[in-house]
């Protein structure tokens, strides 16, 4: 609290307003920014725990001992290290980039195994033949096994198909169908293997425990031993790289915060202080202006005698110092005797002039002209004494 109490009142008010605005903006952002982890988000991401997220499937595979990791880098990096032991899961991916499609094909050709779901998941597969469903509007469909491979013997599987597969290639085997349309397709390509689902429903959080949906996921991934599994997250949004963390809302918020901070600093330091420079020196009055002002002050106060008293006291101290005497209380007569003894050549009117000055210093009715004349007389005697002192000093030297 010492810091707060040491601030100026205006600075404290500015600080309180800034804190209040920051709290209000944070509260507004919390209420207005949509929650990406809600049940309304249809993306089957391993980071989401909502109904359509895939976090449960991801963590279940990890607990089951699967060497599984999220892949958030560009697919070309995964393709460069892919081999027969590589298994990749694409849950509802979305991309139209030729580079991504080429990288996925390279993974399969090198012997990798790929599980992909949805319309876009089938369109990026090598040899993919997906199309949009037009007659399937079920809330959920219990798939019918049609194939002879082990995948078709999984058991009861429930799915909400988002696409279907165009039948025609004999190498592409339909393992499950919904209302006569392919829903799970399996085929070999190059050295690798491909499994396609009509949607990601069986691996979503809300459907994973239904019937044998999780068993379908395990059978689609193949054996665990000797394989390394990747769950792709790069095609659920921006491809992760070293610069990905400065994209999105973070960078605009950071820049706006820095701009606001700079504005507060400018207002805080320049509002009162202004530019840091020395003040111009004040113009000094000339000696004549000073004397004129001082004379006007004494004239308005009617203190002519005070001026004479100051001049007389100054002359008395100066003359006694030249005579080598103690500068104590001395009358005009004593000062005259001392000066006459030390400087015999002074004017004959010295004693009378000193007595007149002493009397005028105590008088309250002296006229300004008379006071001026007395001061001029004292100044003349002072000049005469000063010259006599200098002449005596020269003679001694």
User: pLDDT digit string (tens) for 106-154?
Assistant: 999 999 999 999 998 999 999 888 888 765 555 688 999 998 889 999 9
Q: How far apart are CA 89 and CA 114, in angstroms?
A: 6
337 pLDDT band (50/70/90 cuts)? Answer: confident
Pair 125, 231 in one domain: yes
Pair 84, 24 in one domain: no
Pair 29, 93 in one domain: no
pLDDT digits (tens, 9 = 90+) for 290-324: 777 777 776 776 677 888 888 888 888 888 888 88
> Of 237, 252, 270, which marks where a domain is finished?
237
Please check whether residue 193 lies inside any domain of the structure.
yes
Q: Which residues contact 148 (CB under 8 A, 6 or more apart)?
A: 173
Pair 233, 345 in one domain: no
Please check whether residue 249 lies inside any domain of the structure.
no
Q: How many domains does one find in the chain?
A: 3
* Most confident range, picked from 18-27, 186-195, 235-244, 299-308: 186-195
Pair 67, 146 in one domain: yes
CB 185 within 8 A of CB 196: yes
Taking 90 as the threshold, does the pLDDT of residue 56 lie above it?
Answer: yes
CB 89 within 8 A of CB 228: no
CATH of the domain at 85: 3.40.50.880
Residue 239 is predicted with a pLDDT of: 44
Q: Which residue has the tokens 């003679």?
A: 395
Please check whether residue 384 lies inside any domain of the structure.
yes
Residue 217 is predicted with a pLDDT of: 94
Instruction: Please choose, from the candidates 155, 83, 156, the residue with its C-alpha nearest in 3D space to the C-alpha of residue 113.
Output: 83
pTM for the whole thing? 0.55
Residue 88 is predicted with a pLDDT of: 96
Pair 293, 200 in one domain: no
Pair 17, 86 in one domain: no
Please check whether residue 101 lies inside any domain of the structure.
yes
Residue 204 is predicted with a pLDDT of: 92
Pair 232, 336 in one domain: no
Pair 28, 68 in one domain: no
- Neighbouring CB atoms inside 10 A of 352's CB total 13
Pair 230, 304 in one domain: no
Owning domain of residue 74: 55-237
Taking 80 as the threshold, does the pLDDT of residue 103 lie above it?
Answer: yes
Pair 233, 122 in one domain: yes
Please check whether residue 70 lies inside any domain of the structure.
yes
Pair 217, 307 in one domain: no
Half-sphere exposure of 349 (CA within 13 A, CB side): 9
Please check whether residue 206 lies inside any domain of the structure.
yes
Please check whether residue 4 lies inside any domain of the structure.
yes
pLDDT digits (tens, 9 = 90+) for 27-39: 776 665 555 556 6
Q: Which residue has the tokens 């390509």?
A: 189
For 345, the token pair is: 């050549």
CB 165 within 8 A of CB 194: no
Average pLDDT of the residues of the chain: 83
pLDDT digits (tens, 9 = 90+) for 59-92: 999 999 999 999 999 999 999 999 999 999 999 9
């Amino acid at each position: 609290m010492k810091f707060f109490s040491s601030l100026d009142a205006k600075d404290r008010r500015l600080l309180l307003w800034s804190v209040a605005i920051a709290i209000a903006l944070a509260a507004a952002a919390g209420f207005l920014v949509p929650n990406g982890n809600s049940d309304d988000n249809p993306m089957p991401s391993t980071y989401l725990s909502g109904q359509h997220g895939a976090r449960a499937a991801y963590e279940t595979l990890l607990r089951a001992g699967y060497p599984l990791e999220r892949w958030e880098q560009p697919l070309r990096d995964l393709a460069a290290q892919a081999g027969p032991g590589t298994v990749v899961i694409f849950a509802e991916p979305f991309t139209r980039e030729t580079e991504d499609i080429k990288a996925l094909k390279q993974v399969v050709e090198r012997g990798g195994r790929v599980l992909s779901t949805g319309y876009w998941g089938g369109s990026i597969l090598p040899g993919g033949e997906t199309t949009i469903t037009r007659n399937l509007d079920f809330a959920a469909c219990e798939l019918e096994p049609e194939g002879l491979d082990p995948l078709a013997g999984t058991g009861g599987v429930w799915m909400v198909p988002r696409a279907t597969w165009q039948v025609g290639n004999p190498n592409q085997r339909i393992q499950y169908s919904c209302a006569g349309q392919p829903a799970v397709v399996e085929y070999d390509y190059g050295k690798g293997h491909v499994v396609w689902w009509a949607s990601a429903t069986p691996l979503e959080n809300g459907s994973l425990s239904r019937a044998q949906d999780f068993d379908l996921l395990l059978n689609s991934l193949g054996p665990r031993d000797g394989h390394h599994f990747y769950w792709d997250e790069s095609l659920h949004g921006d491809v992760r790289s070293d610069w990905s963390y400065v994209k999105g809302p973070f960078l605009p918020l950071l820049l706006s915060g820095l701009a606001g901070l700079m504005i507060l600093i400018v207002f805080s330091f320049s509002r009162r202080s202004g530019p840091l420079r020395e003040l111009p020196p004040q113009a000094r009055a000339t000696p004549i202006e000073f004397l004129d002002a001082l004379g006007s002050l004494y004239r308005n106060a009617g203190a002519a005698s005070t001026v004479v008293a100051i001049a007389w006291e100054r002359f008395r101290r100066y003359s006694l110092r030249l005579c080598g005497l103690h500068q104590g209380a001395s009358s005009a007569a004593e000062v005259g005797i001392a000066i006459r003894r030390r400087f015999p050549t002074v004017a004959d009117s010295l004693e009378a002039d000193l007595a007149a000055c002493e009397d005028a210093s105590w008088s309250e009715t002296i006229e300004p002209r008379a006071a001026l004349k007395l001061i001029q007389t004292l100044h003349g005697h002072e000049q005469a004494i000063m010259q006599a002192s200098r002449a005596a000093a020269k003679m001694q030297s």
